[in-house]
A = this chain, B = another copy of it.
Amino acid sequence: MERRQMLHIPGPTNIPDRILRSLSQPLINHRGPEFEALLSTCVVGLKKVFRTENDILIFPSSGSGALESAIVNLFSPGDTILAACLGVFSDRMAEIGEKHGLNVIRLTMDWGKAVKVEEIEAILNKDQEGKIKAVCLPQNETTTGIGIDIEGVSKMMRRVGHEAILVVDAISSLACVPLETDAWGVDVVISASQKGLMLPPGIGLASVSERAWKRVEQSTMPRWYWDYKAVKKSMTTSQFPYTPATTLLFGLKEALGMLTEEGMEKVWERHQVIGKGVRNAVEAMGLTLFAEKEYASDTVTAILMPENIKYKELAELLRTRYDIVIGGGLQKLQGQIFRIGHMGAIHFMDMYAVMGALEMALVQLGYEVELGTAAAALAKTFIKK
């Protein structure tokens, strides 16, 4: 039977019906009063999700485009930045920086390990001349399913008094795990539509602090599409320099409504409980979590492939027989791990089907585990005492 696949890749995520319907609204004039009202509602809602009073900029782009926007607006060719490299997507930030002529200090970790606050602190302390213009960190790295303690890094940076700004890639963490842009003092937060915001891909987001705006003023990097000053002006006048992705804004309005109705704390708690349940089920089945456990991500879980089982066979079986789509290992992890996304419009009961199907598929492929083990572990985590 044709049915909606359960999309448990590390994003994009399943889109709720209410949002899907909103995407089929006829277009409106992006220079008219209806659009102004729509945009204004979206910005107010985004500020609640980002927990910030900083400017929010909206781009018709993927999240990676928003990453590039940070590089070309905040820096000048030859500038030095520190970038934590924990996987494909945090490497990307470094790569984009280098492409645009930055000197990138890569703080590269073994994949599966988190960067600790102290490691960053040590580097900043050594930088007596203040060469490092920014610390660039992912809040969540989906390659390995690891998180970074952004709050800890923020506090440390204030404590040590280094001039670097803090740029956080929250693409796969916004509206999933706690982020307090203003309370923690994060200068630039980059995100996108297709993860915690429960939307299709196509919107890139950036929040920009006062401190960061000063850097924008100093930047000599050539840019046009990504120009923060032009987009900022648009956000207030609703006169975009280019046509905005109106349809996704219809969806964004719905998504922000849903998040507000649930409450951000509840949203975060939901992801936390589900993440815990998934990890418990993984371990109960005798499988091995790939990422350092204290820093495990609550939005995606990476699991070592059991011996003698091939990723392609597992993924194919899950997709064709169980209608569940998971992700594989990227680059050097190809075939080594598999990844289960659990972010966005997710219900803890969804994981029953996902982990139950995983259990059955593994057994079919020769893995030994007692049927029902995953469900028992989930239930023990989820049941209200």
**Chain A residues in contact with chain B, CB under 8 A?**
1-7, 9, 11-18, 20-21, 23-32, 60-65, 68, 95-96, 99-101, 192, 194, 200-202, 222-225, 241-248, 258, 261-262, 267, 270, 319, 321-325, 327, 345-347, 349-350, 352-353, 356-357, 359-360, 363-364, 370-380, 382-384
Contacts and interface: CB of A to CB of B under 8 A. Distances in A.
Interchain residue pairs A-B with the least CB separation, the first 4: A372-B376, A375-B375, A64-B242, A200-B247
How many copies of this chain does the complex contain?
Answer: 4
A108 to B, nearest CB: 19
B321 A384 contact: yes
24 contacts: A2-B18, A3-B16, A3-B347, A7-B28, A9-B29, A14-B26, A21-B25, A23-B23, A27-B200, A60-B201, A62-B243, A64-B225, A95-B224, A99-B223, A100-B224, A101-B222, A323-B347, A323-B349, A324-B349, A349-B356, A352-B356, A356-B375, A356-B378, A371-B375
Nearest to A27: B12
A95 B356 CA distance: 45
A61 B201 CA distance: 11
Contacts of A370: 376
Contacts of A14: 26-27
Given A9-B31, A62-B242, A371-B383, 18 more contacts: A2-B258, A4-B26, A12-B27, A12-B243, A20-B24, A20-B25, A64-B241, A64-B242, A99-B222, A100-B222, A201-B246, A247-B247, A321-B384, A349-B357, A370-B376, A371-B380, A372-B373, A375-B375
A7 B24 contact: no
Contact of A325 (B29, B96, B384): B29
A356 B359 CA distance: 15
Contacts of A20: 17, 24-26
A16 B2 contact: yes
B379 A225 contact: no
Given A26-B15, A202-B247, A242-B63, A99 B224 contact: yes
A25 B100 CA distance: 37
A279 to B, nearest CB: 17
Contact of A1 (B23, B96, B267): B267
